[in-house]
């Protein structure tokens, strides 16, 4: 959805020497990210990490009560040319969800051939070798399945078995291999222990070309507490002597992998949201399951972020706030929904700026919009410093604040609403890190902390230098 925002006359910007809001302190700490993973009761999105750390591909994933089966995929480039995959896998932790049909695993897998040659996914053969927990503690196993419908929605197992690896344990690295002979024979190996299968006769190449390194959490009817953490290293393909990737390049090498780095996790008391783009728009976000009139968060853009010339990255609080045309029972999709945001922009020339803006959806799917307001804050922004950003909807105004947590300087902008105000269609709110890739993209690494909700209005004055400063 394309959004370009300009200043609207409805925005009140404070070019006066003194002004103060009435002081109302009624905010509530929503999340300080003191837990080990994202709290599924507070956020709509689950833990997912795919990044190069200390010369290894670190892969983590958790599920949620709303999403039973979650896969963190790192797909190979040119998978149709790959018949043999070998790498080192270390599983650090595998936590099973509640429910049934449980798995928390790390694996390498893919589609290798087709048994029917009918031009659909039916007959595609998928194979995997995994290390993780299926309910009996840590184990290693292999499996082969065949697609039984045209769209690959139904599968029939063709073979599988446990690999009895002596002393298999968490935190230990194991050499893992899938060897497909180009016909219909597989050899699966973990730490020198082999499993074999002669599958159905091959008639064609696989319809969907796919090979990947994955972490997976699955459960039927679980509570959303499943989690797995693993690393992959020294990847080789087709028995070649040189490594396909030893993960000595950071961030993830886009010449080898289709999906680039992505981080959405709690780490050291912060929420990390990282997005990596090779020229397309990419983002990492968490959504609120509840809607409050006030959202505040500390936001830090890390200095390992890099943005290509001509591109832009953002760290943002945003959401649909109200609808100025339709209310419940009369919605025409998103038409009339007003979206607002406050963010820190990181540009390809190295400059940073905090901004607030908003727009109104002009059609049901919000692919066309009208800009309502926008302003750049009069506050210097630097990397590796936390800024407290907030949006407050008080029923007739939108109040945006940006505060430097080191100097205490603060800037405030207000948009007075002069239209009808109804509850929004899809009242979504989120914290977000994004790269707008129009050139060669970039890498946005952002920390979020101390999220507050409910109502809070700042007590502040505007000084003679044009900066807001807290007076309470």
Over residues 42-96, the pLDDT tens digits come to: 999 999 999 999 999 999 999 887 787 899 999 999 999 999 999 999 999 999 9
Tell me: do 310 and 257 sit in the same domain: no
Of the residues 231, 262, 293, the one at which a domain ends: 262
Report how far apart the first and last C-alpha atoms of the chain are (Å, whole number).
40
Query: Is there a domain that residue 4 lies in?
Result: no
Q: What share of the chain is helix, strand, coil (3-state, %, to 5)?
A: 0, 55, 45
Query: Is there a domain that residue 3 lies in?
Result: no
How far, in Å, are 64, 70, 100, 449 from residue 46 at the CA level?
Answer: 6, 9, 19, 17
| pLDDT given at position 61 | 96
Query: Is there a domain that residue 74 lies in?
Result: yes
- Band (pLDDT 50/70/90 cuts) for residue 278 is confident
Query: Is there a domain that residue 43 lies in?
Result: no
Number of domains in the chain: 2
How many other C-beta atoms can be found within 10 angstroms of the C-beta atom of residue 329? 5
Cis? peptide before 172, omega within 30° of 0: no
Mean pLDDT of the chain: 90
Tell me: do 275 and 163 sit in the same domain: no
- Round to whole Å and give the CA distance between 66 and 387: 32
pLDDT at residue 137 is higher than 80: yes
How many other C-beta atoms can be found within 10 angstroms of the C-beta atom of residue 4? 9
Q: Supply 392's token pair.
A: 């407050």
Tell me: do 166 and 202 sit in the same domain: yes
Query: Is there a domain that residue 40 lies in?
Result: no
Cis? peptide before 251, omega within 30° of 0: yes
Would you call 46 helix, strand, or coil by DSSP?
Answer: coil
Spacing of C-alpha 193 from chain mean position: 36
**Is 453 within 8 Å of 274 (Cβ atoms)?**
no
Mean pLDDT of 237-243: 97
DSSP for 176-192 reads EEEEE-SSSEEEEEETT
Q: Model-level pTM greater than 0.95?
A: no
The domain in which residue 220 lies consists of 48-262
Residue 132 Ramachandran class (φ > 0 left, ψ -120 to 50 alpha, else beta): left
Tell me: do 360 and 257 sit in the same domain: no
- For 7-29, give one letter per residue: b (16+ CB within 10 A) or e: ebeebebbeeeeeebeeeeebee
| pLDDT given at position 211 | 98
CA torsion 311-314-320-325 (nearest 10°) is -40
Lowest mean pLDDT among 10-24, 135-149, 339-353: 10-24
Handedness of CA 64, 65, 66, 68 (dihedral sign): positive
- Round to whole Å and give the CA distance between 270 and 431: 13
Tell me: do 25 and 120 sit in the same domain: no
Query: Is there a domain that residue 2 lies in?
Result: no
Tell me: do 23 and 112 sit in the same domain: no
Tell me: do 281 and 367 sit in the same domain: yes
**Is 72 within 8 Å of 161 (Cβ atoms)?**
no
Spacing of C-alpha 158 from chain mean position: 34
| pLDDT given at position 21 | 40
pLDDT at residue 159 is higher than 80: yes
- Round to whole Å and give the CA distance between 352 and 24: 31
Tell me: do 236 and 384 sit in the same domain: no
- Round to whole Å and give the CA distance between 315 and 329: 34
Tell me: do 148 and 278 sit in the same domain: no
pLDDT at residue 25 is higher than 80: no
- Round to whole Å and give the CA distance between 240 and 31: 48
DSSP for 334-402 reads TTTEEEEEEEEEEETTS-EEEEEEEEEE-STTS-SEEEEEEEE-SS---TT--EEEEEEE-SSEEEEEE
pLDDT at residue 456 is higher than 60: no
- Round to whole Å and give the CA distance between 22 and 458: 8
Q: How many residues does the chain have?
A: 472
Give the CATH number of the domain where residue 385 resides.
Answer: 2.60.120
Of the residues 262, 293, 322, the one at which a domain ends: 262
Say which residue the tokens 């065949």 belong to: 146
Q: What is the chain's Cα-based Rg?
A: 25
Query: Is there a domain that residue 372 lies in?
Result: yes
Query: Is there a domain that residue 5 lies in?
Result: no
Tell me: do 227 and 363 sit in the same domain: no
Tell me: do 356 and 290 sit in the same domain: yes
Tell me: do 170 and 252 sit in the same domain: yes
Of the residues 229, 246, 262, the one at which a domain ends: 262
| pLDDT given at position 437 | 73
């Amino acid at each position: 959805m394309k959004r370009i925002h300009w200043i609207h006359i409805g925005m009140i910007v404070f070019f006066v020497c003194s002004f103060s809001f009435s002081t109302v302190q009624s905010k509530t700490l929503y999340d300080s990210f003191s837990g080990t993973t994202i709290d599924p009761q507070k956020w709509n999105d689950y833990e997912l990490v795919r990044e190069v750390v200390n010369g290894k591909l670190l892969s983590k994933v958790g599920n949620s009560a709303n999403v039973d089966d979650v896969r963190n995929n790192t797909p190979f480039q040119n998978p149709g040319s790959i018949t043999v995959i070998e790498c080192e896998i270390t599983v650090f932790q595998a936590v099973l969800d509640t429910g049934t049909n449980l798995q928390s695993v790390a694996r390498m897998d893919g589609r290798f051939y087709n048994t029917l040659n009918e031009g659909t996914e039916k007959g595609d053969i998928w194979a995997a070798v995994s290390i993780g927990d299926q309910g009996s503690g840590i184990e290693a196993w292999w499996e082969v399945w065949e697609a039984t419908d045209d769209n690959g929605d139904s599968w029939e197992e063709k073979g599988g078995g446990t690999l009895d690896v002596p002393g298999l344990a968490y935190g230990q690295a194991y050499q893992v291999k899938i060897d497909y002979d180009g016909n219909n024979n597989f050899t699966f190996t973990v730490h020198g222990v082999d499993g074999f299968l002669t599958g159905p006769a091959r008639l064609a190449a696989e319809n969907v070309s796919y090979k990947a390194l994955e972490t997976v959490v699955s459960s039927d009817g679980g509570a959303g507490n499943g989690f797995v953490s693993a690393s992959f290293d020294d990847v080789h393909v087709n028995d070649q002597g040189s490594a396909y990737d030893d993960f000595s390049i950071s961030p993830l090498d886009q010449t080898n992998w289709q999906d680039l780095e992505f981080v959405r996790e709690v780490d050291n008391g912060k929420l990390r949201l990282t997005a990596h783009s090779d020229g397309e728009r990419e983002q990492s976000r968490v959504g609120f399951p509840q809607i409050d009139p006030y959202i505040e968060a500390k936001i830090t853009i890390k200095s390992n972020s890099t943005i290509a010339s001509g591109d832009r990255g953002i760290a943002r609080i945003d959401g649909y706030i109200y609808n100025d045309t339709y209310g419940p029972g009369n919605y025409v999709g998103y038409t009339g929904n007003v979206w607002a945001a406050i963010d820190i922009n990181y540009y390809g020339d190295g400059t940073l700026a905090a901004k607030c803006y908003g727009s109104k959806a002009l059609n049901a799917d919000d692919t066309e919009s009208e800009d309502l307001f926008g302003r750049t804050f009069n506050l210097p922004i630097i990397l590796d410093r936390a800024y407290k950003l907030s949006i407050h909807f008080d029923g007739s105004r939108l109040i945006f604040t940006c505060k430097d947590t080191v100097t205490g300087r603060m800037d405030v902008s207000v948009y007075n609403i002069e239209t009808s105000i109804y509850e929004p269609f899809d009242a979504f709110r989120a914290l977000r890190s994004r790269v707008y890739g129009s050139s060669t993209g970039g890498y946005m690494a952002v920390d979020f902390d101390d999220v507050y909700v409910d109502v809070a209005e700042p007590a502040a004055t505007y000084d003679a230098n044009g900066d807001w400063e807290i007076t309470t």
